[in-house]
Chain A
Amino acid sequence: MNDLLKMIMFDANTQWVLLGTVLLGVASGVLGSIALLRKQSLIGDAVAHAALPGICMAFLLTGEKSLLVLLLGATITGLLAAYCIQYIISSSIIKEDAAICLVLSVFFGFGIVLLTRVAQSSSGNKSGLNDFIFGQAASLVGNDVKLMAGAAAVLIFVTALIFKELKVLTFDPAFAKGLGLPTGFLNFLFLSLLVAAVVIGIQAVGVILMAALLITPAIAARYWTNSLSKMIVISGIFGAVSGMSGTFLSTLGQGLPTGPFIVVTATALFLISMLFAPERGLVTKWIKRMVNNKQLRNNKLLHSEKRSGYHEL
């Protein structure tokens, strides 16, 4: 534990990694809440899986493992996947769930084809592309983390800028259109933000579990409040806490992946919220009902006593 503290206090790289995962948690918590309310959470999952072929393609084309280039590739295929899903839904009888599932698995399968291709390419090694599947925050180095932290900060800033418009669009799309908001453009912008959040997260959390970072903190936050702005803040905090503790836990042992620990922490927060949140928590509700029942029983008792007294008179 002392070593860990020392590492956090003095090791610059660990501090950067920590900052990166915390900012990532905030960004995906914020965007995830809006995605949740728009019922688009699982699109994040598809986008995350679809990032794999983009990463491999970027590597095959440029032949170097520069994070910026790889993430650019991931963004392109991620956006392409998101559009494929929306196109399939809007122009055929295939429903949303099947479209998401289809796009997700086909893109990922294609990514694996490319990954095996990369493994045989002249450079010879998989060059750590495998890390993208499960995430390895510990393998992040200085510049990568700065890129990640910077991008996350930009995402949070942009979301704050267009928050009002997104809110209207989420709760009442028809009204938003009536107001003259560019709904098509806003949809595109939000989808791009979501893709960007997923893409910067995949190195730390991995493509498979990135969806959890979008969904779980948001659904946990939903239990604590009914106001969107509060929900976004709480979800951001939950995301940050999960990112932080996931990073800690994975540094405790050799070769432990970061992503799964982030997800487990986020799920623990979700369970606590589901059970104990004031007003909406299951246990809270149960206690309230118990108290209420007791009161009712007492009232009834009083009532019947009164009535019997009345009869005696």
Chain B
Amino acid sequence: MSYEAWILIVGSLAGITCGITGCFLILRKLSMLADAISHTVLLGIVLAFIVSQSMSGIYMLVGAAIVGLLTAVCVQMLHHAGIQEDASIGVVFTFLFAVGVILITMFADDVHLDVDHALMGEITFVPWDLVQWGFLPELPKAFLMLSTVLIINLVVIGFFYKELKLTSFDPQMAAAIGIPVLFIHYLLMGLVSITTVASFDSVGAILVVAMLIAPGASAYLLTDRLSIMLLLSALLGVAAAVIGYYLASWLDVSISGSMATINGIIFALVFFFSPTKGLISKKFSMKRLKVD
């Protein structure tokens, strides 16, 4: 397959995976935790590298998932110790990220694990980073990782759909009828961690946040049904990835940065022009009310 096609496929896969997972974060008011995890994943990757001395994808996935969960657990612990939630998120992620940056500059300076890469991603190099898994032909590593994570996410969300839905909208009721709310919370955090790390290598930490939150937020303004919101979010994620890629190649700028920008523009459009919850339609309905 051509170079361009691989980038579009990987970007779209990241868009779908993040878009679907992000919806639950928005509904549960956990967006900042995603931001936190997308930063601390860096520490997981560095630690995985220091322990295993290799850049193999599987070690990174495990390391990042562990540190991602650790972030969620630490935030929860500080919150329990009486610190308001936003501050506990701020303390935990900045500290873990700082440790990650220090470790990189001290131990992993000469590998391709540099910080700029981690932030901005290297989707440009994705089609050349090939690996062989089992009987499959040689495929780009990012493609394999993202499709694996997408399948895991879809299976878990499909299996626990009812539980996720109920704990997102009415946690008290969920707890009352015996759904393990805390387990579902950490399950979702685990999904966010592996999603982040799989997308992180190709699109970078900051874009992961944009891809997790922006399509979900736009979809939230377009519908009231969870199933449609998930679908719309995935579609918008793909749209942003494709448009972002073409914009970037036209202007010759960072691909992941322009995908994030397009995500923001899509949100702005929806924010103003959404048929039911958009600013303009709200203004119109207010006017009609006044006339009546």
Within 8 A of B (CB), among A30-49: 36, 39, 41-42, 45, 49
Q: Judge if A16 is at the interface, Cβ distance under 8 Å.
A: no
A39 contacts which of B32, B34, B84, B221 (Cβ < 8 Å)? B84
List chain B residues, Cβ under 8 A from A92: 221, 271, 277, 279
Instruction: Given the known inter-chain contacts A92-B277, A215-B87, A260-B102, please indicate yes or no for A110 contacting B26, CB distance below 8 A.
Output: no
Binds B, one of A66-74, A172-180, A186-194, A261-269: A261-269
Binds B, one of A113-121, A138-146, A289-297, A299-307: A113-121
B109: nearest chain-A partner, CB-CB: A255
List chain A residues, Cβ under 8 A from B35: 45, 101, 104-105
Binds A, one of B133-141, B185-193, B203-211, B227-235: B203-211
Q: Judge if B99 is at the interface, Cβ distance under 8 Å.
A: yes
B254 contacts which of A101, A113, A133 (Cβ < 8 Å)? A113
List chain A residues, Cβ under 8 A from B115: 133-134
Bound-complex Cα distance A33 to B216 (A): 32
Give, as a whole number of angstroms, the nearest-CB distance from A203 to chain B.
16
Binds B, one of A6-14, A160-168, A204-212: A204-212
A130: nearest chain-B partner, CB-CB: B116
**Is there an interface contact between A112 and B102, defined as CB atoms closer than 8 Å?**
no
List chain A residues, Cβ under 8 A from B162: none
Within 8 A of B (CB), among A128-161: 130, 133-134
Within 8 A of A (CB), among B237-292: 248, 251-254, 256-261, 263-264, 267, 271, 277, 279
**Is there an interface contact between A100 and B31, defined as CB atoms closer than 8 Å?**
yes
Binds A, one of B9-17, B90-98, B152-160, B173-181: B90-98
List chain A residues, Cβ under 8 A from B29: 95, 97-98
**Is there an interface contact between A108 and B97, defined as CB atoms closer than 8 Å?**
no
Q: Judge if A259 is at the interface, Cβ distance under 8 Å.
A: yes
**Is there an interface contact between A105 and B207, defined as CB atoms closer than 8 Å?**
yes
Q: Judge if A199 is at the interface, Cβ distance under 8 Å.
A: no
Bound-complex Cα distance A274 to B252 (A): 49
A215 contacts which of B94, B253, B264 (Cβ < 8 Å)? B94
Bound-complex Cα distance A259 to B256 (A): 25
Give, as a whole number of angstroms, the nearest-CB distance from A135 to chain B.
10
Q: Judge if B226 is at the interface, Cβ distance under 8 Å.
A: no
Q: Judge if B30 is at the interface, Cβ distance under 8 Å.
A: yes
A46: nearest chain-B partner, CB-CB: B35
Instruction: Given the known inter-chain contacts A104-B209, A109-B256, please indicate yes or no for A98 contacting B101, CB distance below 8 A.
Output: no
List chain A residues, Cβ under 8 A from B264: 102, 106-107, 109-110
**Is there an interface contact between A111 and B257, defined as CB atoms closer than 8 Å?**
yes
**Count of chain B residues near A, Cβ 8 A:** 59
A263 contacts which of B26, B34, B94 (Cβ < 8 Å)? B94
Instruction: Given the known inter-chain contacts A98-B26, A106-B264, please indicate yes or no for A116 contacting B220, CB distance below 8 A.
Output: no
Bound-complex Cα distance A42 to B263 (A): 21
Give, as a whole number of angstroms, the nearest-CB distance from B284 to chain A.
14
**Is there an interface contact between A88 and B91, defined as CB atoms closer than 8 Å?**
no
Q: Judge if B120 is at the interface, Cβ distance under 8 Å.
A: yes
Bound-complex Cα distance A102 to B218 (A): 10
Main secondary structure of the interface of A (DSSP, over half): helix
List chain A residues, Cβ under 8 A from B30: 97
Instruction: Given the known inter-chain contacts A115-B254, A259-B98, please indicate yes or no for A97 contacting B32, CB distance below 8 A.
Output: yes
**Is there an interface contact between A260 and B260, defined as CB atoms closer than 8 Å?**
no
**Is there an interface contact between A94 and B98, defined as CB atoms closer than 8 Å?**
no
Instruction: Given the known inter-chain contacts A93-B221, A208-B97, A209-B98, please indicate yes or no for A116 contacting B254, CB distance below 8 A.
Output: yes
Give, as a whole number of angstroms, the nearest-CB distance from B230 to chain A.
16
Q: Judge if B217 is at the interface, Cβ distance under 8 Å.
A: yes
Instruction: Given the known inter-chain contacts A109-B261, A212-B90, please indicate yes or no for A94 contacting B217, CB distance below 8 A.
Output: yes
A260 contacts which of B98, B251, B253, B254 (Cβ < 8 Å)? B98
Q: Judge if B119 is at the interface, Cβ distance under 8 Å.
A: yes
List chain A residues, Cβ under 8 A from B206: 49, 105, 108-109, 112
Bitwise, B3-32 to A at CB < 8 A (1) or not (0) is 000000000000000000000011001111
List chain B residues, Cβ under 8 A from A114: 253
**Is there an interface contact between A36 and B254, defined as CB atoms closer than 8 Å?**
no
Pairs A–B under 8 Å by Cβ, sample size 15: A92-B221, A92-B277, A94-B217, A97-B29, A97-B86, A101-B212, A102-B267, A105-B35, A106-B263, A109-B206, A110-B264, A112-B256, A117-B251, A133-B119, A208-B97
The 3 closest A-B pairs by CB, nearest first: A109-B260, A106-B264, A212-B94
Q: Which residues on A are within 8 Å of B, measured CB to CB?
A: 36, 39, 41-42, 45, 49, 88, 91-95, 97-102, 104-117, 120, 130, 133-134, 208-209, 211-212, 214-216, 218-219, 253, 255-257, 259-261, 263-264, 267, 270, 274, 282
Q: A42-B89, A109-B257 are in contact. List 16 more A-B contacts (CB 8 A).
A: A41-B87, A95-B29, A97-B32, A100-B32, A101-B209, A105-B209, A106-B260, A106-B264, A110-B260, A113-B261, A116-B253, A215-B87, A219-B91, A264-B98, A274-B81, A282-B81
